[in-house]
Structure 1
């Protein structure tokens, strides 16, 4: 609830600041003088509603979508010793981290991966792949579970949704301002919106969306370091380093559904500009950060 409150306060503060800037610099009056009248505060309010609503709907549906898209089996009654051990490990870590017991699930996939998702710290989902269970030692699996539990304890899923909501707000707002100005000033549309408005708005939204995703991915990379540190606290630094080194040696690339990629234990690889849009830092950097702890 605290993060949701901070999210709302942040968006309200941003809207107030932009409204004040608009009034101080007379941007609204300038546009009106040029015959490009646009109710910027109203558009900003609409943008915030659209940006926040979409982000939180996605977050609210994240658990059910994750189960459906991966075919994850939620352990209710353990069918064997391995499932019992998995539940016990997560329960112990959740208790230490001070969160409610998450749902624990297994999904069938050859890659070594795991993820956590959910709207609330006390009602989350932690899922591991069969590839992870078969390809790691129990110490390494415990470290990965601790990493995911740390994500839940840190409220990372909610925070990521908050940041996504904020950038969605500005993408929606700025793309329509750009479309409106070009439609009126360049194409001289006097009433309503012409085709140029819709074309320009779509193009601006695509370009701004790409730039905004770099901001979201920067935070996503930052939270991975925090979750690694949380895992080191819960299970020991060397266990987490061993788990990441095991991931380095794995020949199977992670192939979670796109909407879950940022929540996996590891993401794709890249260099140069591509790194700006990676949800995870390079494994070597994460290992080095743990060794410096």
Structure 2
């Protein structure tokens, strides 16, 4: 099939990466100015970036307890994904199953050659065949758009700042001693404040990219299946089913929300403020507009 390249998504990925690089360099510069060895900071950053690049897919699968399944276990699921991959001009990705009452799906991997498309066991019980195919097409669109790696790498600085924020108490406890305690504490407080600012900025930039990429993947699903109505129905079913999933079960998988087709929000207002997805109503409206265009309205 002829794939319409989303230049808006491409430009946003480049712009987000560029702005995050500037924020990242400023962050490292502040830490270095406060006495942290710059060479050590670069070494840690390079090591974590290396791990994210080569092991991001394994970390996502591990954190969600997703297992790779063979064709003889889920033959119909494999056939659907194989067919969509052929239509998109992609190699067939590995297929994963996540055991969870949260109906959802995601794609991960640094490139189309090592991509994984995974679904929860509950989503297969929730959706009919056309709806499930539309959801899988949405995930294949992420693979085709190559936005998975960008999102994973873009989240690196946010994660680093968050770790510093979370461990600030221990830094203050063990780093605040010595001959000039007041000076050390002042520096650590400044690091904490800068970490908060960096976390907020990087999170907002990452979330802005994440929201747009969901619109792009919705459009890709409509192109692959020529059935926007099926994805609308699937999104509404998944969203409606979320209301009946216990909050603790949604909280267990919130860390992977950026990858899911619908975020699993447990009611944490901070998580909702930094939502990784656009509102369902806007996604449905965009898909309905695509449906109208296909009908010539």
TM-score (norm 2): 0.69
Match of residue 201, structure 1, among 178, 185, 191: 191
Corresponding residue for residue 33 of structure 1: none
Corresponding residue for residue 227 of structure 1: 217
Supply the distance in 2 between the matched residues of 1:98 and 1:48 (Cα, whole angstroms): 39
Superimposed CA distance per residue, residues 214-271 of structure 1 (whole angstroms, 9 cap, x where no aligned partner): 1111111111000111111111211111111212321345556344211011014689
Supply the distance in 1 between the matched residues of 2:20 and 2:203 (Cα, whole angstroms): 22
- Determine if the alignment matches structure 1 residue 260 to structure 2 residue 250: no
Corresponding residue for residue 158 of structure 1: 149
Q: Report how far residue 289 of structure 1 moved.
A: 1.1
- Determine if the alignment matches structure 1 residue 138 to structure 2 residue 132: no
Corresponding residue for residue 285 of structure 2: 288
Supply the distance in 1 between the matched residues of 2:159 and 2:98 (Cα, whole angstroms): 31
Supply the distance in 1 between the matched residues of 2:44 and 2:19 (Cα, whole angstroms): 12
Supply the distance in 1 between the matched residues of 2:204 and 2:68 (Cα, whole angstroms): 33
State the SS of the aligned residue for 2:218: helix
Give the alignment of 1:47-58 within 5 angstroms: 51=45, 53-58=47-52
- Determine if the alignment matches structure 1 residue 101 to structure 2 residue 92: yes
Q: Report how far residue 72 of structure 1 moved.
A: 2.3
State the SS of the aligned residue for 2:112: coil
Give the alignment of 1:1-293 within 5 angstroms: 10=18, 51=45, 53-79=47-73, 83-165=74-156, 194-235=184-225, 236-250=227-241, 251-253=243-245, 254-255=250-251, 257-268=253-264, 276-293=273-290
Kept in 1, the 8 Å contact 2:98–2:120? The answer is yes
Kept in 1, the 8 Å contact 2:109–2:148? The answer is yes
State the SS of the aligned residue for 2:199: helix
**Alignment size in residue pairs:** 248
State the SS of the aligned residue for 1:111: coil
State the SS of the aligned residue for 1:101: coil
**1:73 to 1:227, Cα distance in 2 relative to 1, 3 A:** same
Superimposed CA distance per residue, residues 65-107 of structure 1 (whole angstroms, 9 cap, x where no aligned partner): 233333323222413xxx1111011111112222221110112
Corresponding residue for residue 34 of structure 1: none
| RMSD, aligned CA | 3.8
Kept in 2, the 8 Å contact 1:151–1:157? The answer is yes
**1:57 to 1:214, Cα distance in 2 relative to 1, 3 A:** same
* Runs of at least 5 residues in structure 1 that lack an aligned partner in the other structure: 19-27, 29-36, 176-188
**1:165 to 1:148, Cα distance in 2 relative to 1, 3 A:** same
| 50-59 vs 196-205, which moves further | 50-59
Q: Report how far residue 108 of structure 1 moved.
A: 1.3
State the SS of the aligned residue for 2:263: coil
Kept in 2, the 8 Å contact 1:94–1:100? The answer is yes
**1:136 to 1:245, Cα distance in 2 relative to 1, 3 A:** same
**1:88 to 1:275, Cα distance in 2 relative to 1, 3 A:** same
Supply the distance in 2 between the matched residues of 1:166 and 1:271 (Cα, whole angstroms): 22
